Structure 1
Amino acid sequence: MAEQRHIKRGSRIVFSVFIGIMLIYLIYFLPLPYYIFMPGTAEVIRPMVEVKQPVGEEKGSLMLTTVRVSDATVFGYLASYIQPFEERHKKQELLRNNESESEYTQRQEVVMQSSQASAIQAAYNKLKIPYKISKDGVILQQVYKDFSANNVLQAGDYIVTADNKPVETKEDLLNALKGKKAGEKVSIGYKRKGVIKTQDIELKVLPDDGTGGPQRAGLGVVPADLRSIKAESENQQVSIKAGDIGGPSAGLMFSLEIYNNLAAGDITKGYKIAGTGTIDEKGNVGVIGGIQFKIVAADKAGAEIFFAPKDYNVNGQSVPNYSDAKKRAEEIHTKMKIVPVGTMDDALNYLASLSPKKG
């Protein structure tokens, strides 16, 4: 009897330990279909931008700002309700239709590369520096799961040929597939990790794109053109190495840093300047997401000035950025000056109006 009680007690202990481990896993490690958004970092851009022969010395600093996004667990989800400045968002709010998380990451990398090219163009155009646009190939951001291409291709692959015709742009790929029907096979040459392979892939009717146009057959991929900007003078060539930072929102701050490297003088005048906003080659600044988190990150980093994209009105609806930034700045009682900008010139003109910082 004593031995049986000992066995039962041991079994209860083992069962209790097992239940405890399962509870710990469920609470701390089981992922939920949510992301937790929170303030990220404010990163000094100077080390990320390389110029053959920079013109001036930077006494202050220009900083890009980030949003930290983490997978939600039960513990993290509940904790986000009491942690200041944390928000919960369903993963599907960020992901495109049937897009995987790895494809989303790839898309952010592509968008960042495009943003960097636009930032270089904007600075070159402002400084009237001659340059050329180099075509760097076609990269895949997404491969639809219910297409034959999904058995061959993956996000991050480069398409190099289609039916033995070279592919340098998305337009080249579309032209190679034009007029083909569902069920036909196309020979696709693709590059992955430096290795080029060729595979016949069957086409399928593409999903309705909502434009009302005729249905057409395709691979079921989302391609993107990659490009780089080459200055005619090697001494003015710019390259950007931003590590694992993704997305387009650092465009404005990159363009200001590039400008400060290539123009006489120092636009920072000794101030710590943070900001955010997309930019196009003409210097127009666009709105971004998560600016309320970036304000907190910039304040923690000691920024004195924050450039926020101005609010826009699209189809009668307000798309806020500056107003959200201003509201969060008031909530945290920061001394940081929030400056609305619609163009790169707006930021440069504001900095030009400042007196050099003393001390």
Structure 2
Amino acid sequence: MPRRTATMLASTLMLIVLLCAGVFIPVPYAEMSPGPTVNTLGDHDGEPVLRIDGRKTYPTDGHLNMTTVRVTSADYRMNLVEAVYGWLAHDNKVVPHDTLYPDGKTEEQSTQENAEEFSQSQESAKVAALKELDVPVKSWVIVSTVVKDSPAEGRLHAGDVIKSVDGSAVREPADVAELVTRHKPGEDVVFTIVPAKEQAAAEKENRAPKRTEKVTITTRASDDAGDERAVVGIAAGTDHTFPFTIDIELADVGGPSAGLMFALGIYDKLTPGSLTGGRFVAGTGTIDDAGKVGPIGGIEMKTVGARAKGAEYFLTPADNCAAAAADTPEGLTLIKVDTIHDALGALEDLDSGDTADLPTCTAS
């Protein structure tokens, strides 16, 4: 066999071996890509995304689209060829698997966590929008979760309202941990609560709760590294009562990043006129009860997905601005926002045509 032919054959065989290896060798990476984008002012799967009953609403137009990111599942094992393709593809992003699923988190655990964050983001979106409209919202601190096999298991329950700890009034979720950690492990702490069932009955009957209970729990040391601290094994959260019904219907979406766009959609439906002036505005960002907008992951995927659907403007959390501006899709203007008030101001400027001073994102 001629040397040239032998060399070509050997090279071909080596290429085949490398390709086969690339297909079958798993690598510790996951992939992110642009996901669906949904207009919070419109319908999804034939149903309104936002439904408000018990309060006058107004017609809206244009788009206030929330954006999403698709990710490979926790148990999917990407091969080398797919990783290389993802690195080369402009619209996809390959990241270490642990970035999306830290500490060996399973698909089920990730889905549950995302669902909880999505639910909380909806509540905060409602509160932020109504506060911006000066509509009173009743809030209180509750037991959000109880850790299995903890001192609180069987003593406190999810939904219990925490009125005080050791006689000190509780006004914010952070107050609970601060008061508990004043103790040493092994000491007793006294919770004054409204049981979840009593609270639910009071809300249904539109009355104040009729009874409270005192629950004494013996603390134990936390499992965290570092200085020893006392814990009882609960996470505190916030619950609200709204003066009218606001339902957000959007299945198969998780995480907290749609909070800003839900809040803006609610605000738009409850006020005369149109926030967008008929324009296609998309965006992202977490939101808290005070209207503060927080950063999210996958910003580059979200801007690509929004522009592909026709968005002209993208409301961008301030802390995501640099990353988003580093590779902005052509024809998309990134508007920097730090609060819901910033977003409303920017939309007002767009509606009036006064865009010269819009707070746009820069790469630096």
> What TM-score results when the alignment is normalised by the length of structure 1?
0.66
Q: Given the alignment of the two structures, is residue 214 of structure 1 paired with residue 219 of structure 2, yes or no? A: no
Cα distance in structure 2, aligned partners of 1:217 and 1:282 = 28
Alignment RMSD: 3.8
Cα distance in structure 2, aligned partners of 1:266 and 1:337 = 20
Alignment partner, residue 9 of structure 1: none
> Do the aligned partners of 2:137 and 2:241 also contact (CA within 8 Å) in 1?
yes
Residues 215, 129 of structure 1: CA spacing in aligned structure 2 closer, same or farther, 3 A cutoff?
A: closer
Q: Given the alignment of the two structures, is residue 73 of structure 1 paired with residue 78 of structure 2, yes or no? A: yes
Alignment partner, residue 82 of structure 1: 88
Q: 1:139-158, aligned counterparts within 5 Å?
A: 139=145, 149=148
Cα distance in structure 2, aligned partners of 1:227 and 1:239 = 18
Alignment partner, residue 8 of structure 1: none
Cα distance in structure 2, aligned partners of 1:33 and 1:89 = 9
Alignment partner, residue 15 of structure 1: none
Q: 1:174-253, aligned counterparts within 5 Å?
A: 206-210=222-226, 213-216=227-230, 224-225=235-236, 227-232=238-243, 234=244, 237-253=245-261
Alignment partner, residue 135 of structure 2: 129
> Would you say how many aligned residue pairs link Structure 1 and Structure 2?
282
Give % identity.
30
Alignment partner, residue 324 of structure 2: 325
5+ unaligned residues in a row in structure 2: which ranges? Answer: 1-19, 42-47, 163-172, 187-218, 354-364
> Do the aligned partners of 1:285 and 1:309 also contact (CA within 8 Å) in 2?
yes
Out of 334, 344, 350, the residue aligned to residue 346 of structure 2 is: 350
Cα distance in structure 2, aligned partners of 1:98 and 1:180 = 30
Q: Given the alignment of the two structures, is residue 116 of structure 1 paired with residue 122 of structure 2, yes or no? A: yes
Residues 299, 340 of structure 1: CA spacing in aligned structure 2 closer, same or farther, 3 A cutoff?
A: same
Q: Given the alignment of the two structures, is residue 310 of structure 1 paired with residue 318 of structure 2, yes or no? A: yes
Alignment partner, residue 17 of structure 1: none
Cα distance in structure 2, aligned partners of 1:305 and 1:39 = 17
User: Deviations along 1:45-69, whole A, 9 cap, x unmatched?
Assistant: 1232111145211110110011110
Residues 124, 27 of structure 1: CA spacing in aligned structure 2 closer, same or farther, 3 A cutoff?
A: same
User: Deviations along 1:55-106, whole A, 9 cap, x unmatched?
Assistant: 2111101100111101442153233133222222222223344543322222
Q: Given the alignment of the two structures, is residue 103 of structure 1 paired with residue 100 of structure 2, yes or no? A: no
Q: Given the alignment of the two structures, is residue 48 of structure 1 paired with residue 46 of structure 2, yes or no? A: no
The runs of 4+ residues in structure 1 deviating greater than 4 Å are: 134-137, 163-167, 169-172, 178-181, 215-219, 223-228
Cα distance in structure 2, aligned partners of 1:218 and 1:130 = 33
Aligned partner letter, 1:51: I
Q: Given the alignment of the two structures, is residue 339 of structure 1 paired with residue 335 of structure 2, yes or no? A: yes
Aligned partner letter, 2:317: P
Cα distance in structure 1, aligned partners of 2:239 and 2:125 = 11
Residues 328, 72 of structure 1: CA spacing in aligned structure 2 closer, same or farther, 3 A cutoff?
A: farther
Cα distance in structure 1, aligned partners of 2:266 and 2:342 = 16
> Secondary structure at 1:354's aligned position in 2?
helix
Out of 57, 60, 76, the residue aligned to residue 58 of structure 1 is: 60
Cα distance in structure 2, aligned partners of 1:340 and 1:215 = 40
> What TM-score results when the alignment is normalised by the length of structure 2?
0.65
> Secondary structure at 2:327's aligned position in 1?
helix
Cα distance in structure 2, aligned partners of 1:218 and 1:338 = 45
> Do the aligned partners of 1:252 and 1:278 also contact (CA within 8 Å) in 2?
yes
Cα distance in structure 1, aligned partners of 2:157 and 2:322 = 48
Cα distance in structure 2, aligned partners of 1:239 and 1:267 = 20
Comparing 72-81 and 110-119, the one that deviates more: 72-81
Residues 281, 335 of structure 1: CA spacing in aligned structure 2 closer, same or farther, 3 A cutoff?
A: same
5+ unaligned residues in a row in structure 1: which ranges? Answer: 1-22, 144-148, 154-158, 182-202, 312-320
Residues 225, 102 of structure 1: CA spacing in aligned structure 2 closer, same or farther, 3 A cutoff?
A: farther
> Do the aligned partners of 1:41 and 1:294 also contact (CA within 8 Å) in 2?
no
